[in-house]
Amino acid sequence: MKMTLAALTTAAALIAGPALADLTLPHLSYRTGPYAANGTQYADGFNDYFTLLNERDGGIGGAKILTPECETAYNTEKGVECYEATKSEAALIYNPMSTGITYQLIPKASADGKVLYTPGYGRTSAKNGKVFEWVFNAPANYWDGASVAVKYLLDQNGGDLKGKKIALLYHNSAYGKEPIRTLQELSKKHGFTLSELPVDAPGQEQKSQWLQIRRDKPDYVIMYGWGVMNPAAIQEAANIKFPMENFIGIWWSGGEVDVQAAGAAANGYKSLTFNGVGTDYPFYADLTKFVVDPGKASQGGKFVGSAVYSRGVYAALIIGEAIRKAQELAGTPDINAAQLRDGFEALDITEARMAELGLPGFGQPIKLSCANHGGAGMARLQQWDATAGKWNLITDFIQPDEEVLEPLIAADSEAYAKEAGITPRACD
């Protein structure tokens, strides 16, 4: 048994082993389990962007990009197995798309010198690059999301939320618990009452939480859900006739699969997003020509343009730009993980650059530095139009409340530094 396993792994390593000068980005995806509906779309977007670069430009700076997939099923043990299996010399960066796996990988990747890129998820305080040297979470993090949601509600209520009731419906895991501290601070600052309603993983079972919402009648519900939890929550909200326009999800609760199950009842549901949606960007002409039409798209390209797919594309785009920057700084296309980290820290994606990439206005400008690994953290709101079956962007990018977030991030990252025995780097 063990012998055959050894033989098999060696054989696998020989077959999958990258040729020299290829850029290896191990892709920890999940296409099975309770989070598959969303995870599979994200993975498709991530793959297709790099397929496009390979097909159209021959990779980045002449180096082909490989994204060998490994199935994690959103499970931390499998995540660890995938990390160990793919952690070769050539592996540059990990984007595990799971907050739980990110927490496992932060110490490991930092010790191994691999970049960990967690756009819109993972450990929020990783924004502090002085402590988290190898972790990046631009363009926005969970606390930014909570702050933007509250800012939007302030905007809706003439700048005053006093006496309002906001309920947080969250996935009872590291992911869902992340925004609680921020929302508590914000409730102190703005005078609203916050009620916290945990939903146990995976999240189909939330009858009692909605019963409580029905009884308490909160003015707004903010949701941090993922996978099967999202459609279940939106269906329950429709069942108790909760006004959909007062129901705001984080960006991970804003995919098509989440709202479609509730049909017309989901009309008006809002969610945050840090990227554009739909296929009305010049980029998609190239994608169709080089990837979808020749049949090279993941799963035949059936999710192209969906909201979660777009987030996968956006994550890949930022990694791609960081690689480009790193190649520029290193003067060679064949970069290593440390050079990629430098590329991330020098990353500067302007609006003009986004237009050049065929995605004008798709995302906010991102400028990172040694100290700031999280960018500006802006997000915007989108609303579901059930009749047209599409998401519409309803606000411009909203800046989160740094006054509240900065001390929280400083405190949390300092606590981590103390726990892990890290001396923060000197940089600004």
Partner 1 sequence: MFYREAGDFKTSYREDSQTFPLALDRWAYRLLMAVAVLVVPFVIDGYWANAILVPFLIYAIAAIGLNILVGYAGQLSLGTGGFMAVGAYAVYKLSVAFPGINIVFHIIAAGGITALVGMLFGLPSLRIKGFYLAVATLAAQFFLVWLFNKVPWFYNYSASGQINAPDRSVLGWMVTGPLATPAAKYLICLAFAFVVAWIARNLTRGMTGRKWMAIRDMDIAAEIIGVNPLTAKLTAFGVSSFFIGIAGALFFAVYLGAAEVGEAFGINKSFLILFMVIIGGLGSIFGSFAGAAFMVLLPVALKNLLVGGFGWPTDLAAHIELMIVGGLIVIFLIAEPHGLAQLWRLTKEKLRLWPFPH
Residue 182 contacts residue 408 (beta carbons within 8 Å) = yes
Residue 133 in tokens? 């040297």
Residue 111 touches partner 1, criterion: CB under 8 A: yes
C-beta pairs of 100-108 under 8 Å, 24+ apart in sequence: 100/74, 100/76, 100/173, 100/174, 100/175, 101/28, 101/72, 101/74, 101/76, 103/174, 104/76, 104/79, 104/80, 105/79, 106/132, 106/135, 107/420, 108/83
Stretch that binds partner 1, among 121-129, 234-242, 352-360, 373-381 (CB under 8 A): 121-129
Given 31, 130, 270, 380, the residue binding partner 1 (CB under 8 A): 31
Query: Of 98 and 273, which CB lies nearer to partner 1 in the complex structure?
Result: 98
Q: If DSSP codes are grouped into helix, strand and coil, which group holds residue 189?
A: helix
Given 47, 95, 118, 125, the residue binding partner 1 (CB under 8 A): 125
Strand partners, 394: none
Given 22, 61, 64, 85, the residue binding partner 1 (CB under 8 A): 85
Beta strands in 250-332 (DSSP E): 270-273
Q: Min. distance of Cβ 358 from partner 1 in angstroms?
A: 28
Q: Min. distance of Cβ 155 from partner 1 in angstroms?
A: 26
Given 21, 32, 193, 367, the residue binding partner 1 (CB under 8 A): 32
Residue 78 contacts residue 345 (beta carbons within 8 Å) = no
Given 24, 110, 310, 364, the residue binding partner 1 (CB under 8 A): 110
Q: Min. distance of Cβ 292 from partner 1 in angstroms?
A: 18
Q: What whole-number distance in Å separates Cα of residue 352 and Cα of residue 375?
A: 17
Query: Of 29 and 147, which CB lies nearer to partner 1 in the complex structure?
Result: 29
Query: Of 180 and 355, which CB lies nearer to partner 1 in the complex structure?
Result: 180
Given 19, 20, 84, 158, the residue binding partner 1 (CB under 8 A): 84
| Interface positions, 385-414, toward partner 1 (CB under 8 A) | 412
Given 421, 423, 426, 428, the residue binding partner 1 (CB under 8 A): 421
Residue 417 touches partner 1, criterion: CB under 8 A: no
Given 21, 64, 104, 414, the residue binding partner 1 (CB under 8 A): 104
Could you tell me where the DSSP H helices lie in 76-128?
76-86, 99-112
| Interface positions, 187-206, toward partner 1 (CB under 8 A) | 198, 200-201
Q: What is the DSSP letter of 258?
A: H
Q: What whole-number distance in Å separates Cα of residue 157 and Cα of residue 264?
A: 27
Q: Min. distance of Cβ 20 from partner 1 in angstroms?
A: 20
Q: Min. distance of Cβ 250 from partner 1 in angstroms?
A: 14
Half-sphere exposure (Cβ direction) of 218: Cα atoms closer than 13 Å: 27
Q: If DSSP codes are grouped into helix, strand and coil, which group holds residue 257?
A: helix
Stretch that binds partner 1, among 109-117, 282-290, 303-311, 355-363 (CB under 8 A): 109-117
Residue 338 contacts residue 93 (beta carbons within 8 Å) = no
Q: What whole-number distance in Å separates Cα of residue 257 and Cα of residue 280?
A: 20
User: CB neighbours (10 Å) of residue 293?
Assistant: 11
Q: Which amino acid would we find at residue 19? A: A
* Residue the block writes with tokens 């080089």: 290
Residue 255 in tokens? 């995919």
Query: Of 73 and 340, which CB lies nearer to partner 1 in the complex structure?
Result: 73
Q: What whole-number distance in Å separates Cα of residue 332 and Cα of residue 351?
A: 26
Stretch that binds partner 1, among 10-18, 50-58, 214-222, 254-262 (CB under 8 A): 10-18
Residue 112 touches partner 1, criterion: CB under 8 A: yes
Q: Which amino acid would we find at residue 148? A: V
Residue 52 in tokens? 């496009």
Residue 124 touches partner 1, criterion: CB under 8 A: yes
Strand partners, 393: 382
Distances (CA, A) of 21 to 3, 104, 418: 32, 29, 39
Given 58, 62, 107, 243, the residue binding partner 1 (CB under 8 A): 107
Contacting positions for partner 1 (CB under 8 A): 1-2, 4-5, 8-9, 11-13, 15-16, 29, 31-32, 36, 40, 69-71, 73, 75-77, 80-81, 84-85, 87, 99-100, 103-104, 106-108, 110-112, 123-125, 172-175, 177-178, 180-181, 198, 200-201, 412, 415, 419-421
